[in-house]
Chain A
Amino acid sequence: MKGIFSYLICVVLVLLGGNTRSLAADAGADFAAANKLYAEGKFADAATAYENILKTGVQSPALLFNAGNAEFKAGRLGKAIAAYRQAGQLEPRDAELNANLAFVRNQVQGATLRESRWQNWVGSLTLNEGTLLAGVFFWALFGLLTLRQIRPVLAPRLRRATQLAAVATIFSGAVLVLQAANHFNGAIAVVTSAETTARSGPFDDAQSAFTAHDGAELRVLDRHD
């Protein structure tokens, strides 16, 4: 009975692994086809092709980067910025990505949100990197505290290291909280239509405050269905 159960588990794992590999292989072929469309100057078609790959559930920084390029060349600044921002969450220190994002942002007309220097700094780490960094400092802090309990004679020598670990834990924890809030709350919205009227209240007939153009990035204060 036990042998049959193990065999079934192996079969399921093999099938799952094969399915994932097959999915990645298909996506790779689709990616090459989308790149070809882009090279032929069929930017709108290329953008659709990249979007179709993303709809299958897979993603990579390069895929989102190329999707952003295609959207920009197709004249859709907002969708380009949205794709670049998604890529930035996976690979925030990619110089080419940041250059393209800055270039497209410069084309946006009218009011848009400009992220401050510290926000850019916080965004230079992926959420997982921030999580691991905070985790390492957290473990180091509690490791040192535990060691001080087990070997009190080492406490004076570990004092400075413990203080540093505590400061690093608090700082990295704060950064992680900001990153997580940004990631899970979706605090920034990107306008993807040609023009959007921002109103002073959550009603269709509320007084219009300003017009946001395609690509404008706005801070989400509240949501309204």
Chain B
Amino acid sequence: MRFMFKIWFALVAATLLEGAAFAATFTASLDRDSMTLGEQVTLSLKFDGAQPQDAPGIPNIAGLQFQYVGPSSSFSFINGETKSSITFNYIVTAQHDGEFTIPALRANIGGQQLDSPPLKIIVYKVTPPTTTAVNSGNEIAFMKFAFPKPKVYVGEPVVAQLKLYLRDDVQNISGFQMTSSTTDGFSAGKTAELSNQRRRVQIGNRVYTEIPLAMPLTAVRSGAFSLGPFTASVVAILPGQNQGGDPVFNQFFNRGEQKQLTLATEVVNVQVLPLPEENKPADFSGAVGSFEMSATAGPAKVTVGDPITVRVQISGRGALDTVTLSTQDAWRDFKTYPPTAKLETGDQFGFQGTKTFEQIISPLNTDVHELPPLAFSFFNPEDGRYHTLKSAVVPLTVQAAGASPIPVMAGIKNSTPENQPPQDILPIKEKAGTLAPAGMPLIGRPVFLAAQVVPVLAFVAAFVWRRRTDNLANNPRLRRRLAVAQLVATGITDLKKYAAANQPDEFFATLFRLLQEQLGERLDCPASAITENVIEEHPVLRGASKATLDGLRELFQLCNQARYAPVRGSSELNSVAMQFEKTIGGLQEVKS
């Protein structure tokens, strides 16, 4: 498998190298050399025998727009000859009609300059169909643009209508796309179909389906403007030529003939009037439309500095998103905060609905006795006049902060219904409490953290102790070993004491007993059964060193001799005790 891969790799490498040896060529082509305004053509830049790293740059050509859509590459290996090419594709759209020339393009491939031939493309103007053509029924589809009035004011929102007509033999349409929307002097919103308003109309001698599309427009500057032509492209599906079978079946399976159509509307001229300067209110902030206002404010009884919430609702028809509350000069005795706004629209274009403002204000002194009326001015394009709406005066009672009786919290709870929100913050505290330096919290103190180790250590110690105790309880030999070790340790002390006191009887009796106990523990047999003979007989002691065995024999013999010749000196007893200590040490190392 690995060998096959190497062969394949070698072949590919050789092929590429061989291909690279061919002379590279560069060609540019269009998929067609003419189009109508709104359509698009594809420009292909093809490199044969060369692999440029990046797509070539296209120079700016007035009236044409290029959009790079990506490369495509091909590779062929025929009769030992290899060919490779890469094509860079661009979508070309025109902004106006006319004849355009795409100049020769130059590419640098590995130091080699490659030039493409220049290309020409003719863009035809889209013209709306004449009335005669429409009435004759020859038009498969066409569009009409309707603007509701010839004159509008700056800022006035208008919903224009774009109507798409489809001849009765059009089975379906797809890919409807607006290709140009000339709306100079207006800002256009999103075009959307008006729901449930499709209808069939008789035009000339054919029946058409009328599909109304709403186009929200707002005039942004004054002057004479032309709306349109609006152009669109759509694919209409018509009954196929010589297509047999059931037409319902054909329609269901979309077997009709597809026809790409370019549609255009007439140009509509509109005069945009500036807002009049005459009688313009000082507080006018640009609201254009027809509005109503309602306002509330509360609470009416406050102390200096307390917040009062002013809620203003402006509803009606107009450019609601641009409606703002202007600064109220009459509220000079109040501290004002920026208002918040919430827009609830009643139509899909946002031209009708209610905008609610909430603004917090607070009285600055006790001289305030009322909230002056809030004023809102707008221009109504229907009557061409400015209007100013004013809210009612809200009487207020403002008390000094220190003079008002300060209720305690319990009092508030008892006297205020639970569902009523508090009207003010609770008062300050008279006593400072314990004023102390801000210290490090407990969790940051090393002593506290170190203290937390104590229970862990206690647990670990208890755990180890428990394991040791359990081991002793479950292992009698271990328990005996420890007990004998303890006995020997105290016995050696006793031996030294008896030696110092020159008490040979007690000395040798203790020595013999210690020898029995230690040998009994090592040999795992009762201490009383231990005699000098075990030294020669027991297999365990075969692992002991010769010095240990000799020492044991000598100690047993000394014990036996002591019964018959008990008189010994302290020095001799001390040397026997030392010999015992040494021999016992050797014995304890013998594996039992």
Cα A65 to Cα B426 with chains together (Å)? 10
A178 contacts chain B at the CB level, 8 A cutoff: no
Q: Are A131 and B455 in contact (CB under 8 A)?
A: no
* Chain A residues with CB below 8 A from B360, complex form: 107, 109
Q: Are B409 and A73 in contact (CB under 8 A)?
A: no
* Chain A residues with CB below 8 A from B456, complex form: 142
Nearest-CB residue, chain B, relative to A150:
B462
* Chain B residues with CB below 8 A from A152, complex form: 466
B77 contacts chain A at the CB level, 8 A cutoff: no
B448 contacts chain A at the CB level, 8 A cutoff: yes
Nearest-CB residue, chain B, relative to A145:
B459
A191 contacts chain B at the CB level, 8 A cutoff: no
Cα A154 to Cα B141 with chains together (Å)? 94
Q: Are A62 and B438 also in contact (CB < 8 A) when A100-B425, A103-B424 are?
A: no
* Chain A residues with CB below 8 A from B443, complex form: 127-128, 131, 176, 180
Q: Are A43 and B434 in contact (CB under 8 A)?
A: no
* Chain B residues with CB below 8 A from A96, complex form: 409, 426, 429
**B409 CB, nearest partner CB in chain A, Å:** 5
| 5 A-B pairs in the complex with CB atoms less than 8 angstroms apart | A38-B402, A41-B304, A59-B436, A135-B452, A149-B463
**In the complex, chain B residues 517-563 whose Cβ is within 8 Å of any chain A Cβ:** none
Cα A139 to Cα B434 with chains together (Å)? 30
Stretch at the interface among A27-35, A114-122, A201-209: A27-35
Instruction: With A31-B435, A69-B427 given, name 11 new contacts (CB 8 A).
Output: A24-B435, A35-B428, A38-B401, A58-B436, A59-B438, A60-B434, A62-B429, A63-B433, A63-B435, A127-B441, A176-B443
Q: Are A109 and B337 in contact (CB under 8 A)?
A: yes
Q: Are A142 and B426 also in contact (CB < 8 A) when A40-B402, A135-B452 are?
A: no
Cα A143 to Cα B457 with chains together (Å)? 11
Out of A24, A28, A57, A139, name the residue touching B455 (CB < 8 Å). A139
Q: Are A75 and B429 also in contact (CB < 8 A) when A59-B438, A131-B441, A149-B459 are?
A: no
**In the complex, chain B residues 400-447 whose Cβ is within 8 Å of any chain A Cβ:** 400-402, 409, 421-422, 424-438, 441-444
B332 contacts chain A at the CB level, 8 A cutoff: no
Cα A40 to Cα B366 with chains together (Å)? 12
Q: Are A142 and B458 in contact (CB under 8 A)?
A: yes
Cα A50 to Cα B431 with chains together (Å)? 13
**B368 CB, nearest partner CB in chain A, Å:** 13
* Chain B residues with CB below 8 A from A172, complex form: none
* Chain A residues with CB below 8 A from B427, complex form: 69
* Chain B residues with CB below 8 A from A100, complex form: 425-426
B362 contacts chain A at the CB level, 8 A cutoff: yes
Cα A147 to Cα B354 with chains together (Å)? 72
A18 contacts chain B at the CB level, 8 A cutoff: no
Cβ contacts A42-76/B at 8 Å (1 or 0 each): 01000000000100011111110110011011110
* Chain A residues with CB below 8 A from B435, complex form: 24, 27-28, 31, 53, 58-60, 63
Nearest-CB residue, chain A, relative to B458:
A146
* Chain B residues with CB below 8 A from A139, complex form: 455
Interface residues on A, range: 35 or more
**A205 CB, nearest partner CB in chain B, Å:** 24
Out of B337, B401, B425, B448, name the residue touching A131 (CB < 8 Å). B448
Top 6 closest pairs, chain A to chain B, by CB: A142-B455, A39-B402, A149-B462, A62-B429, A60-B433, A66-B428
Cα A99 to Cα B434 with chains together (Å)? 22
B176 contacts chain A at the CB level, 8 A cutoff: no
Cα A7 to Cα B233 with chains together (Å)? 101
Q: Are B307 and A28 in contact (CB under 8 A)?
A: no
Out of B337, B338, B441, B459, name the residue touching A142 (CB < 8 Å). B459
Q: Are B304 and A61 in contact (CB under 8 A)?
A: no
Of residues A138, A146, A195, which shows the largest number of chain B Cβ atoms within 10 Å of its Cβ?
A146
A104 contacts chain B at the CB level, 8 A cutoff: yes
Cα A20 to Cα B436 with chains together (Å)? 9
**In the complex, chain A residues 146-162 whose Cβ is within 8 Å of any chain B Cβ:** 146, 149-150, 152
Nearest-CB residue, chain B, relative to A65:
B429
* Chain B residues with CB below 8 A from A213, complex form: 338
Nearest-CB residue, chain B, relative to A96:
B426
Q: Are A183 and B441 in contact (CB under 8 A)?
A: yes
Nearest-CB residue, chain A, relative to B462:
A149
* Chain B residues with CB below 8 A from A141, complex form: 455
A221 contacts chain B at the CB level, 8 A cutoff: no
* Chain B residues with CB below 8 A from A131, complex form: 441-443, 448
* Chain B residues with CB below 8 A from A53, complex form: 435
Cα A131 to Cα B583 with chains together (Å)? 60
A95 contacts chain B at the CB level, 8 A cutoff: yes
Cα A195 to Cα B466 with chains together (Å)? 67
Cα A59 to Cα B307 with chains together (Å)? 28
